Amino acid sequence: MFLSGTGVFLQRTAGSWSEAGFAEDDPFTVEPLAAARKAAEDKVLAAASRDMRTMVIRPGLIWGPGDHGHLSMVYQSVAATGAACYVGEGLNTYSHVHIDDVTRLFTLALDKGTSGALYHAVAGETPNRWLAERVADDLGCGTRGVDEAEAAEIWGEFGALIMASSSRCRAPRTRRQLGWEPHHSDMLTIATRP
């Protein structure tokens, strides 16, 4: 079993909304930075043809105790600028999943999974602007959009890429084949200061 991630179809949206969301078998153009990961997925899945039991689990942004996805990066922006920041309009969205739901999915895949199958783990979605609003409420500060150049000053080049992009997925095969249902769907309801 190989743990991958939805970075393979990350879209560089500069903080804008993207309606593209990918199910397990949907075609997509791989994010160039994730080409090696996609190649590893393909090798793992191809090994099923050689009488090996192989599967790929591709979770969205994983969050849980002590790690709430991009929330810590938004807190970092407050320390750097005095405001809870997002890139552009802040409508870029990541599908996410709680770590407990990912571990349950691994158990189900080992028990009932089909060799050569790809499974997505996704429970909800949160635009970065909502995260910034949550942090602003927590700290009593304002929010503001930044351009990609300022984002790089706040979070570094790679952090700015992540905070400006979208990565959305769906999990119909995972739910149907494995009976997987996530227990945690809204990371904002339990998100606390990192």
Nearest of 76, 72, 84, 79 to residue 137 by alpha carbon: 84
Looking up residue 174, the CATH number of its domain turns out to be 3.40.50.720
**Domain count within the chain:** 1
Q: Has residue 191 been placed in a domain?
A: no
Query: Residue 37 is part of which domain span?
Result: 2-184
Order of strands, edge to edge, in the sheet holding 55-59?
2-3, 55-59, 117-121
- Domain assignment present for residue 189? The answer is no
Q: What is the pLDDT of residue 68?
A: 73
128 belongs to a structural domain:
yes
Domain membership of residue 100 (yes or no) is yes
In a domain, 193, yes or no: no
Residue 194 lies in a domain: no
pLDDT one-digit tens code per residue, 129-141: 999 999 999 999 9
Cβ distance 154 to 146 under 8 Å? yes
Asked if the structure places residue 115 within a domain, the reply is: yes
Q: Using one digit for the tens of pLDDT, what is the confidence trace for 40-77?
A: 999 999 999 998 999 999 999 998 887 777 888 999 99
Residue 109 forms part of a structural domain: yes
Give pTM, 2 decimals. 0.89
pLDDT tens digits along 143-178? 999 999 999 999 999 999 999 999 999 999 999 999
